[in-house]
Amino acid sequence: MVSISVERPGQRDGVLALNRLAFEGDDEARIIEALTRDGLVVLSLVASDDDQVIGHILFSRLEVEMERRAIRAVALAPMAVHPDQQGKGIGSALVRRSLDLLAAHGVEAVLVVGHTGFYPRFGFSAALTRQIAGPFQGLEAFMGLELRAGALSGQGICRYPAAFGL
Ligand SMILES: CC(C)(COP(=O)(O)OP(=O)(O)OC[C@H]1O[C@@H](n2cnc3c(N)ncnc32)[C@H](O)[C@@H]1OP(=O)(O)O)[C@@H](O)C(=O)NCCC(=O)NCCS
């Protein structure tokens, strides 16, 4: 049975291996390590089955100002589900559980650069990021979600930490 919980220290190797497998490369695993080293991880959730890590999602602190006021924002990146387990709802369950936890902790907004066929079902929208200056402004894949109504309204700017290597 698949269970979802906050990543435990002993699961890090499984998390990194899963990301290397799902993304067919090392970039995302390196980002996870860099974000952790820099103390920026806000939430890391793992989906496991029989102690095997089969899904993972990570959120990190992101500098976002809207109308010159800093808001509590996080970046969703990366997320991955084991290739043999995709399409079974595990990714969706990870996103939904995370959003509940983040809202309960007072996070106001989530930004993601990701699949336009996947994230809108959770409420992410490119319309909410059009006025946010930064490396991804104008991309359809750059989407935002408000956990506090109006959190992303107006003109804004976002700065990604060095861990993303932008
Ligand atoms: C994207 C990912 C996390 C989704 O996890 P999942 O457990 O398969 O997701 P779910 O089963 O909850 O939902 C599946 C839906 O996601 C969609 N989806 C999966 N990969 C997609 C992609 N590359 N582009 C667009 N949509 C995608 C599926 O088409 C499916 O849509 P449907 O429900 O309309 O048929 C998973 O496919 C994955 O790990 N992919 C490789 C790594 C990756 O791309 N990570 C995300 C970076 S933004």
State if residue 118 touches ligand 1 by the CB under 6 angstroms criterion. yes
Nearest CA to ligand 1 atom 37: 86
Work out whether the CA dihedral 73, 92, 163, 11 comes out positive or negative. positive
Statement: residue 96 has pLDDT above 90 = yes
Nearest CA to ligand 1 atom 25: 117
Nearest CA to ligand 1 atom 4: 91
Pocket test for ligand 1, best of 118, 121, 139, 164 (most atoms within 8 A of CB): 118
Distance CA 146, CA 153 (A): 9
Distance CA 105, CA 99 (A): 10
Give the confidence band of 133 by pLDDT, cuts at 50, 70, 90. Answer: very high
> For residue 7, what is the DSSP state?
P
Share of the chain above pLDDT 70, in %: 100
State if residue 2 touches ligand 1 by the CB under 6 angstroms criterion. no
Distance CA 155, CA 165 (A): 25
State if residue 90 touches ligand 1 by the CB under 6 angstroms criterion. yes
Using alpha carbons only, what angle is made at residue 86 by residues 82 and 90, rounded to the nearest 5 degrees?
Answer: 90
Record: fold of 2-164? Aminopeptidase (3.40.630)
- What's the rounded mean pLDDT across residues 31-46? 98
Distance CA 96, CA 138 (A): 26
Structure confidence at residue 8 (pLDDT): 96
Statement: residue 166 has pLDDT above 90 = no
Calculate helix-pair angle for 27-37, 12-23, nearest 10 degrees: 140
Statement: residue 28 has pLDDT above 90 = yes
Structure confidence at residue 17 (pLDDT): 98
- What's the rounded mean pLDDT across residues 95-100? 98
Residue ranges with strand state E in 86-141: 109-113, 132-133
State if residue 114 touches ligand 1 by the CB under 6 angstroms criterion. yes
Nearest CA to ligand 1 atom 23: 115
Q: State in Å: Cα 16 to ligand 1 middle.
A: 18
Distance CA 83, CA 31 (A): 20
Residue count (the chain) = 166
> For residue 125, what is the DSSP state?
B
Q: Taking all residues of the chain, what is their mean pLDDT, rounded to a whole number?
A: 97
* Atom in ligand 1 nearest the alpha carbon of residue 80: 39
Could you read off the pLDDT of 74-94 as tens digits, one per residue?
999 999 999 999 999 999 999
Q: Give the domain ranges of the chain.
A: 2-164
Statement: residue 118 has pLDDT above 90 = yes
List the structure tokens of 138. 């104008």
